[in-house]
Structures are given as C-alpha cells and as structure tokens.
Chain A
C-alpha cells in the first residue's frame, strides 16, 4: 500500500480522487427506500458503536467534570459525593496560589507561539515554496522536532539547559558552583526556557501547514501581481497572504489548542514547579498527587473546558457552515 501511494505527490491524499465534481446534493429519497432491514441494522451499528465509545469516554466524562466541579468527593463510593455549589471555584479563584499564574502561563504560551514560531514557520514556508533546490531536505530538518515525541524533546533540551552539564552553561562558563544559571529551576527563567523548546517544535508544524496552504494558491495570481509591477513583499502582503485565510484560521485554532494542551514538555522538565505552572499540570498533579481532590480538580478542568469550547465551537460552526454552502 505504501509503495503505491508514495509515488504520488505529497498532497495526493488531500486531492480528491478523479471523478465527477463532488456531489453535495441531497441523496434522493429512493436511496433510503432501497435499504433492507438488515442494512438499517448494519448502519445503526456502524454509526452507533463508534459514537457510543466516543461519547462515553469523551463527552460523558467532560460532562462529569462539570458536574463534579460542584461537589466534593473522596472517590470511595457514590454516597460520599456532596454538593457544594460554587465552593470549589471560589477557592480556586481566591485561595490557590498556583491558579492565576497557571492561567497567565497558558496565555503567555499562546502569545509566544503565535508571535514567534508561527510567523517564522510562515516565512520558511514561503521560502521553501519557491521551487528551490533541496527544499525537501530543509523541510525534513525543520519538521523533525514535530515527529519526535515531546517527552524526548524535553530530555534533549535538558541536555542544553542543565545547569551543571548543559550546553549553554558550559559555553558561557556558568557551570561552576556559585555561577550557576538554573534554566530549569529558576522561576523567572524556566518558562522561557521551555517556551524555546516548544517554539522549536511549533515552527516546523506551522511551516507544514502553511506549505500546504501555499500549494493551494493559484499561481496565476502571483503572475498577475508581478505583471502589475509588485515586488515580492507586496505580492505576498496583498495577494498571497489574503488568500491564505483558511490556513490562518486553522493555524490560529491549532495554536490556541496547543497552548491549552501544553503539558508533556513541562512535566518532563520540572513537573510544573514554580514558574511553569499550567492548567493542565494543576489538573494532573491533583490526580496523581497524594491528596487528590476530585471536585477541585474538576473545577480546574471546567475552566480549561470553557476556554477550549469558546474557541472550538465557533471554529467548527464556521467550518461546517462553509462546507454546507460549498
């Protein structure tokens, strides 16, 4: 199977197979009437089994998070579930010294990703889209960090940041006792250190998304623009970038989601110690920590859920509406 498909262009899978233009019209009513009883049962199973599994494990648990956020529960027996109203949230917003820093760090995470690696990925994509030689080699180099797991990324970057043995301190001579720069432990530095590693990875991801977007730009647009005497930058700014709008939307959503999901790197680095608290880390530490408070952990999850859905739902509604119109 692989040999057959790998000979095609990279976007082979993205391009619809040859045949008549996509048919979006409603399937005629007769279609349904041709189905036998057995067919209907088959269809029911085909749609039902996956939906059941997905809804049970993803949506029911998400709703359970919401419900549990208003309770306290020790996890032993359902009788011990007690309704406490907004107590968990009150405590979270006013009493938890880690909560607001975590929110702030998630926001910083997003701002950094959208401000640095995203434009850089776009820039690299534009350069690599120029029918340049060795384009694939460059792409592979930039994309490699995306393929490697975040856990491995964390370990690799520790070799760079380690105060004793790390590359940076060895190079600048800060690896002697008394001169240590603690990139991982110092709460003023560690978030930025992790963010460099995260940006290292994000750039390649964004590059690939933009490369795919650029492949879809009609070449005649570019020709027309340069015929009009526009230079490269003007063509990009006035012609190419506006046509990349769908890609930009995807990039924005992907980046927000990545910022909300950020977890592995920080967990490998320092388990979310002071300076690198994140919402995802707070939730997880609450579970695997010694004093697991189910209701309280759920309240943090609800905060994360609300932020996520505020992004996901408008995006999906817009996407599906566009698709229907198409």
Chain B
C-alpha cells in the first residue's frame, strides 16, 4: 500500500483510528494521573483534606502550600546549591568528553577502542559498586582552604568531580560516534595547512558537533539535577545538599502535612519540566543518540 493510498484512506474517519485515540487518551490520562493527583493535593489546605478526606470536592484551592514550602524550607538556597554543582559539571563533562572523543575518532593510536570501552563500561556500572571506596577516598583527601569542609567529602567540588567522571563515559561514547561521521578530509586539510591540533578541535570539529552537544547538555542537566544518590552519600551537611537530595530531609520535617510535601516535591520538579518542554527535541535525541548507535 503506497503512502498516497494511505493518505487518501485517512480522510474518512476510520473506526480503528477512533478506537486508537480513545485508548491513547485514556492511557495518557492514566499516566498523568499520579502527577495530577499530587498537584490537586498540593493545591488544597491541610485542614480541609484532614477534615473531609483527600477524595472530596475541593472548597478552597490556593498556592499557599507552594509558597509555604518554598519559604519555610529556604528552597532558593538549595536551588543555588544545585546550580553550583550542575553548571560546572555539565560544562566540564562536555569539554572533557569532547576532547577524548576528538582524540579517539580522529587519531588512530590503537589505544582508542580500548579507551572508549573503558569509558563506556564505566558509565554503565551501578554507582553503588564504587561508592564504598569512593566515600573513603573523599574522606581521605584533605583540601584545607579549598572547600569549606576541608575535604573532598561534603563539598560541591566532590560532587562535580564524580558527576564529570561518571557522565563523561556516556558523552565520550556518543560524541566519538558523532565525530566519526564527520568527513576525515576536514581535519586532514587543516593539518596539511599547518593548523595545530587544538585549533582543529576547537575551530573545526567542535562547531560541527553543536547539535550533539546541545542534546547532551540538555540530557546532562536533567540527569545531574535529578541526581539523588551521590549527594545522599557524599554530602553530610544538610545545608550543602542539592535540591533533589535535600527533598528527603525537607519531607522529614513536614511529614505530618502531605500537602506541603507534595507542593515541595512538585516545586523541585519545575526546572526539569521547563527544560524538558523547551528542549524536548534535544532531550529525546540525546537519549536515543547513544542507544541507536549502541
């Protein structure tokens, strides 16, 4: 059946299509239901839900829980913590992994398949495999004056380093695949013209990788923002926690008021949702970029 025929057939609404749309609408709503339920709970005052139950017609809907959660738990401070960790981590990861990818994809020094294997395999390991020695290592490394804790442990620097080390595996893999698709003549010509290796990387190869870099940057931002585990183990002072991990403590403070906890949890999700809606294509292409090639 050619596409033209299919297009013609589509004009009258077919029952199969209606059935499919019905199915998809119902399923999509079911998928959104937990989040919508959280929004509903967060919009209602605690006194009302405790009197009338959660499954009841709302009498008063307000953003009070949101403003309370935001102010009482000093959320701005924790968003700041996340920013201090995520921005450098994303930038350094992209810089380092693009350098490795450049090396691996442009120069055949035999080592490169092995190097790529090491990076990719490292990224696939569960984090808990390395956490015990890493935790000890972070406690052992003294950095007086550099971090406020005086150690790598309990510092933003420590989190940035482990994010970079861990995520650069995935990025190096994706970027090297991407760079390998660039015509070799590009860099060869530059080399013959006497361009330095750094110029080749910085002025020729990197600009061509913009789409892949944009996709990875989006993906990394969300991943690092959403990280829960590293900070739970490697940060001991509640004050220093990034927002996602801080949520755990905050909920402990307000466990008696689920509506407030819901509001707090939803607030932390807002930045990821904004990034996702604005940069949806980058996010999805980044996610499938690695998978498709693998």
**B65 proximal to A (CB < 8 A):** no
**A198 proximal to B (CB < 8 A):** no
Q: How near does chain B come to A110, taking the closest CB pair, in angstroms?
A: 13
User: Roughly how many angstroms separate A170 CA and B53 CA in the complex, as a whole number?
Assistant: 8
List 6 A-B residue pairs with CB atoms under 8 Å apart, sorted by A's residue number.
A31-B191, A49-B99, A64-B133, A151-B265, A267-B248, A284-B128
* Contact among A10, A17, A227, A301 for B181, CB-based, below 8 A: A17
Q: Chain A 207-234 against B: per-residue CB contact (8 Å), 1 yes, 0 no?
A: 0110111001001000100110000000
* Contact among A75, A132, A160, A319 for B294, CB-based, below 8 A: A319
* Contact among B20, B37, B164, B289 for A160, CB-based, below 8 A: B37
**A191 proximal to B (CB < 8 A):** no
User: Given A6-B281, A13-B211, A298-B133, does the pair A150, B226 have CB atoms closer than 8 Å?
Assistant: yes
A47 touches B100 (CB 8 A): yes
Interface centre among A8, A148, A200, by most chain B C-beta atoms within 10 angstroms, is: A148
Within 8 A of A (CB), among B247-294: 247-248, 251, 258, 261-262, 265-266, 268-269, 272-273, 276-289, 291-294
- Given the complex, which residues of A lie within 8 Å of B96, measured CB to CB? 49-50, 53
Q: Chain A 241-256 against B: per-residue CB contact (8 Å), 1 yes, 0 no?
A: 0000011011001100
How many residues on chain A are close to B (CB under 8 Å)?
A: 134
A144 touches B232 (CB 8 A): no
B287 touches A263 (CB 8 A): no
Residues of A within 8 A of B (CB): 1-2, 4-6, 8, 10-14, 16-17, 19-20, 22-24, 26-27, 31-32, 34-36, 38-39, 42-43, 46-47, 49-51, 53-62, 64-65, 68, 75, 124, 127-128, 130-134, 137-138, 140-145, 147-152, 155-160, 162, 165-167, 170-171, 175, 197, 200, 203-205, 208-209, 211-213, 216, 219, 223, 226-227, 246-247, 249-250, 253-254, 257, 260-261, 263-264, 267-268, 279-280, 283-284, 286-288, 294, 297-298, 301, 304-305, 308-309, 312-313, 315-316, 319-320, 323-324
**B132 proximal to A (CB < 8 A):** yes
A287 touches B132 (CB 8 A): yes
User: Roughly how many angstroms separate A267 CA and B84 CA in the complex, as a whole number?
Assistant: 25
Q: How near does chain A come to B259, taking the closest CB pair, in angstroms?
A: 9
User: Roughly how many angstroms separate A49 CA and B183 CA in the complex, as a whole number?
Assistant: 26
User: Given A24-B180, A57-B134, does the pair A144, B161 have CB atoms closer than 8 Å?
Assistant: no
B124 touches A308 (CB 8 A): yes
- Given the complex, which residues of A lie within 8 Å of B122, measured CB to CB? 54-55, 58-59, 62
**B127 proximal to A (CB < 8 A):** yes
B126 touches A308 (CB 8 A): yes
Which chain A residue has the least Cβ–Cβ distance from B273? A147
**B155 proximal to A (CB < 8 A):** no
- Given the complex, which residues of B lie within 8 Å of A17, measured CB to CB? 181-182, 208, 211
- Given the complex, which residues of A lie within 8 Å of B222, measured CB to CB? 147
B214 touches A1 (CB 8 A): yes
B128 touches A6 (CB 8 A): no
Other 11 A-B pairs with CB < 8 A, given A31-B191, A57-B165, A144-B32: A12-B285, A16-B181, A17-B181, A39-B198, A46-B103, A58-B122, A141-B32, A147-B222, A203-B31, A294-B136, A301-B131
User: Given A54-B119, A167-B37, A167-B54, does the pair A263, B214 have CB atoms closer than 8 Å?
Assistant: no
A39 touches B196 (CB 8 A): yes
User: Roughly how many angstroms separate A249 CA and B294 CA in the complex, as a whole number?
Assistant: 9
**B215 proximal to A (CB < 8 A):** yes
Main secondary structure of the interface of B (DSSP, over half): helix
Interface centre among A1, A47, A162, A316, by most chain B C-beta atoms within 10 angstroms, is: A47
Q: How near does chain A come to B108, taking the closest CB pair, in angstroms?
A: 5
B135 touches A159 (CB 8 A): no
B198 touches A151 (CB 8 A): no
- Given the complex, which residues of B lie within 8 Å of A149, measured CB to CB? 225-228, 244, 268-269, 272
A43 touches B289 (CB 8 A): no
B181 touches A62 (CB 8 A): no
Interface-located stretch among B70-78, B110-118, B143-151: B110-118
User: Roughly how many angstroms separate A129 CA and B180 CA in the complex, as a whole number?
Assistant: 29
Interface centre among A13, A60, A65, A166, by most chain B C-beta atoms within 10 angstroms, is: A13
User: Roughly how many angstroms separate A257 CA and B122 CA in the complex, as a whole number?
Assistant: 12
B232 touches A31 (CB 8 A): no
- Given the complex, which residues of B lie within 8 Å of A11, measured CB to CB? 285, 288
* Contact among B232, B273, B281 for A12, CB-based, below 8 A: B281
Q: Chain B 13-43 against A: per-residue CB contact (8 Å), 1 yes, 0 no?
A: 0000100110110011101101101100100
B228 touches A14 (CB 8 A): no
User: Given A156-B262, A304-B126, does the pair A267, B121 have CB atoms closer than 8 Å?
Assistant: no
User: Given A13-B211, A124-B27, does the pair A151, B244 have CB atoms closer than 8 Å?
Assistant: yes
User: What 6 A-B pairs come out closest when comparing CB atoms?
Assistant: A16-B181, A149-B226, A212-B288, A64-B133, A50-B96, A57-B165
